């Protein structure tokens, strides 16, 4: 985060240096140099050649690394990032970090009981990507998404029908809307109908009633 929001917050509620775990943080926000032996100092003027030290010594957040360095990161360093970054970060930026070591770390963390904090919709979006990319941990993530789906409660009385516009003009939003529409149909026991220039159908009745994550993902991929 840039220093400006911290300056505004400090001015609004009159923060002091000793309000923070690092007593040098607030002075740095207002323009002082960070201590020489700190991550902040290491990141401040880092160049490409400093990247291994930022990762191996300082465990620099990937959100900072991806903004500051445009050249591809070596696979060994990506594996090192996977050792200290959050599971959410690894899954969110998987397209950029994907490699054998990252896959292994994600799989090990999922099978040991760790779970991402994403909402259900984002989990489905990520699952579609992981399946397409052939990620080895894909199957370990599916039960987590299924549990999230079962946790959602939507008190709507039957009968319910979900209609979705699948025309080409909706191309930008089609994946998100399909995920949402399929989820609503699953939760309410509704039939789902998508249309473009004509009604898209999965059966002779021109509708489909998804009942599981497998059904939902099948709809998203087909639409």
CA angle 133, 207, 200 (to 5 degrees): 65
Work out the average pLDDT over 79-95.
98
Phi, psi of 167 (to 5 degrees): -75, 165
Q: Given a cut of 50, is residue 204 above it in pLDDT?
A: no
Q: Is the CB of residue 145 less than 8 Å from the CB of residue 216?
A: no
Can you give the residue ranges of every domain in the chain?
Answer: 72-152, 161-222
Per-residue confidence band for 1, with pLDDT thresholds at 50, 70 and 90: confident
Q: Is the CB of residue 216 less than 8 Å from the CB of residue 182?
A: yes
Q: Given a cut of 80, is residue 215 above it in pLDDT?
A: no
Per-residue confidence band for 25, with pLDDT thresholds at 50, 70 and 90: very high
Question: In the numeric block, which tokens belong to residue 121?
Answer: 């919709």
Work out the average pLDDT over 194-207.
59
Work out the average pLDDT over 204-212.
60
Give 195's strand partners.
165, 199
Q: Given a cut of 60, is residue 203 above it in pLDDT?
A: no
Question: The whole model's pTM is what?
Answer: 0.81
């Amino acid at each position: 985060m840039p220093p400006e929001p911290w300056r505004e917050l400090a001015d609004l509620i009159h923060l002091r240096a000793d309000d923070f775990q690092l007593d040098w943080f607030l002075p740095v926000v207002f323009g002082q140099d960070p201590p020489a032996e700190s991550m902040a100092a290491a990141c401040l003027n880092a160049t490409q050649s400093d990247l291994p030290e930022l990762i191996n010594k300082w465990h620099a957040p990937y959100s900072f690394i991806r903004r500051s360095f445009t050249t591809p990161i070596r696979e060994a360093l990506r594996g090192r990032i996977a050792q200290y970054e959050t599971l959410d970060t690894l899954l969110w930026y998987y397209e950029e970090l994907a490699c054998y070591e990252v896959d292994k770390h994600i799989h090990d963390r999922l099978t040991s009981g760790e779970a991402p904090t994403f909402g259900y919709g984002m989990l489905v979006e990520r699952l579609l990507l992981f399946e397409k990319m052939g990620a080895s941990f894909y199957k370990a993530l599916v039960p987590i998404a299924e549990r999230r789906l079962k946790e959602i409660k939507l008190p709507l009385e039957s009968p319910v029908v979900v209609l979705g516009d699948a025309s080409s003009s909706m191309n930008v939003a089609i994946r998100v809307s399909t995920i949402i529409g399929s989820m609503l149909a699953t939760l309410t026991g509704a039939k789902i109908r998508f249309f473009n220039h004509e009604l898209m159908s999965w059966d002779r009745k021109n509708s489909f009633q998804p009942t599981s994550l497998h059904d939902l993902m099948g709809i998203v991929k087909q639409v």
